[in-house]
Amino acid sequence: MKSDIESDGVSNDDPPDGATKPAYVLYSELVLANKYRVLISKGKIYQIQRKLIDMYAIKIEPTRPDLSEIVENMFHNDEEDPLDIEYGLTDDEIGPILDQISEEMIFCRLVNSYLTYLSGLAAEIITSKPEMLKSAEVIRYDELLRFSRMEDVIQYISDRKITELSYAGIKSIKDFFEEKMKLKIFRSESQEKLISLAIEIRNILTHNNGIVNSTFKRRLPGFDYPLGSKIPMDARVSLAIERALRSAALALDKQALKKFSLKPFIAD
């Protein structure tokens, strides 16, 4: 019999043994995102906090009791809020809107977790081979003085580089790993196309309300959604992307562990 958090198509595997910490955390977040959807879809919203606390490597810190009061005081306003009105939407009308928003949030979290994995892996590799940082790029003194440890500087530079590359497109990330580290981040051309699509959808969901723009069309000329249209999201899309991201990350992780003799992460 399936538990409350099991569903067809959702992986219930434990995070991989013998992987780096970035891969372990990525895998955990991918599974958590899908199980979060299952809990929502089965009407178990009240169980989410308790279930997530029990799952994998992700630890949820309890909210400070005074946090809501602090936020309220920061944004206290005696003026009437023009948005604080009754729209009169029925459950049938608002349901599809919330479904779309939830899927967009889950989708973005999946892709962000993958990009964070790439950044974390790059930082681990660069820590073991600092000479890879040699380049014409500069870091300002005020940025540098924020850190007290070289490890934090390396993580900051890696995060900045991966973020910069993600906006330039997946080809830039691919070239960075291949040229700097001699690692292939994709297992096949079809996987590369799917993850390229995922990152570009994430970019327009985050920066353009999910509306197809000229940048999206230029980077993905074969994608047939017209300029100005809204990208529709559903669970099938997110599940397909989750599988591609997981497969690509674990294959890349095995390469990196072997090539750079990284120490596998062991969960507590």
Q: What is the pLDDT of residue 158?
A: 75
Q: Note the pTM of the prediction, 2 decimals.
A: 0.74
Q: Structural domain boundaries of the chain? A: 21-62+89-260
Q: What is the pLDDT of residue 263?
A: 86
Query: Residue-wise pLDDT tens for the chain (268 aa)?
Result: 333 333 333 344 455 678 888 888 888 888 777 776 666 655 555 455 555 555 544 454 555 666 667 767 766 656 665 555 555 667 677 777 777 888 888 899 899 999 989 988 888 888 788 777 666 667 777 877 788 888 888 778 777 777 777 677 778 889 989 988 899 999 999 999 999 999 999 999 999 999 999 999 988 888 888 999 998 887 888 888 988 999 999 999 999 999 998 888 876 6
- pLDDT per residue as tens digits for the range 180-211: 889 999 999 999 999 999 999 999 999 999 99
Structure tokens at 259: 């090539």
